[in-house]
Amino acid sequence: MQIGPHRLKNQLIVAPMAGVTDRPFRQLCKRLGAGMAVSEMVTSRPDLRGSQKSARRADHAGELEPISVQIVGTDPVMMAEAARHNVAQGAQIVDINMGCPAKKVCNVMAGSALLKDEPLVGRILEAVVMAVDVPVTLKIRTGWDPYNRNALAIAGIAERAGIRALAIHGRTRACAFSGSAEYDTIAEVKSRTRVPVIANGDITTPEQAARVLHYTGADAIMIGRAAQGRPWIFREIAHYLATGQRLAPPSTAQIGALLSEHLQALHAFYGDVMGVRIARKHVGWYTKALPGAPVWRSRFNLIETSQSQLAEVKRYFEELPALDLQPGAIEEELAA
């Protein structure tokens, strides 16, 4: 997979997820096999640029290259300035968000709401591409509802504007995350555009990753929710694509070690108070399929210090039985 001058080590990309793909998460996913990770979306509003939240989202210190930063907004001039600002802060790829279905984003006509206004899409893409000398990519949905799928038209606009890669989530804005992703639209876009296409949506297993790549002809796949609490999914998929065989899943001891590493990175990145709060959702994802986790998490979520969190995670995993986590077992538990 090639994006401008950047040749990725594989076809596996971490999807941008607000509140999830912070620097600790991106670094861990890259270390565990992802070829690239896209940041949380960063607002294009200059009045919010100096906020602590925006500053953290623009923090790429020590991160493996390439650095991809997603920006969101509706004004071409502000989006162009946001692109220049983030490149000055270290972004090597600028990604434009036209795929987020969240109400607070769509209510201001940003994210996937922009798909309704194709002329504005063109103006934003052209402004951003012209503003920076790094590759610009775009993330969209298949349309704004099942009766109005205009991904192919958007792809044409993107190609003419000079977009270097197009990620498509296989749902419409109206679908949000309900129902199943469809890949026919992605396959059609791939067959009718020269822009590299990245398929996204419901890719939760190595087998599904292979099926989606084959069916759509996409150049790469993007993994989002399936990586929450399972950052090792990228090395599992990479191994399967290379060999056709399932990689043995991590043992409970290995999961505990990865979780502890992740928590320490969160505590260091956010500080003790916020780090402890943010850690709770990650602990929930990592332990969802493990024995006794619901009761244990209710106690864990009352812990207020980073050191106590780490000690409690260590105790929980030391007391777990040595489970035989066969390939597919964790996915089955998570789907239950």
- How confident is the model at residue 326, as a pLDDT? 53
- Rounded CA gap, 268 and 278, in Å? 12
- Domain range annotation of the chain: 2-243, 252-319
Question: Angle at CA 310, nearest 5°, toward 306 and 311?
Answer: 115
| Catalytic site positions | 100
Q: What are the E-state strand segments in 44-181?
A: 68-72, 93-98, 136-141, 165-169
Q: What are phi and psi of 166, to 5 degrees?
A: -130, 115
Tens-place pLDDT, residues 238-265:
999 999 999 998 999 999 999 999 999 9
Q: Is pLDDT above 90 for 69?
A: yes
Residue 3: both structure tokens together: 């994006």
CATH number of 252-319: 1.10.1200
- How confident is the model at residue 174, as a pLDDT? 79
CATH number of 2-243: 3.20.20.70
Q: Provide the β-strand partners of residue 12.
A: 221
Q: Is pLDDT above 80 for 99?
A: no
Asked if residues 243 and 317 have their Cβ atoms less than 8 Å apart, the reply is no
- Rounded CA gap, 22 and 60, in Å? 9
Exposure class string for 114-153: b at 16+ Cβ within 10 A, else e: bbbeeeebbbbbbbbbebbebbbbbbbbbbbeeeebbbee
Q: What is the pTM of this model?
A: 0.90
**Residues sharing a CB contact under 8 Å with residue 216, sequence separation 6 or more, in sequence order:** 183, 186, 187, 190, 197, 199
Asked if residues 12 and 167 have their Cβ atoms less than 8 Å apart, the reply is no
- How confident is the model at residue 196, as a pLDDT? 97
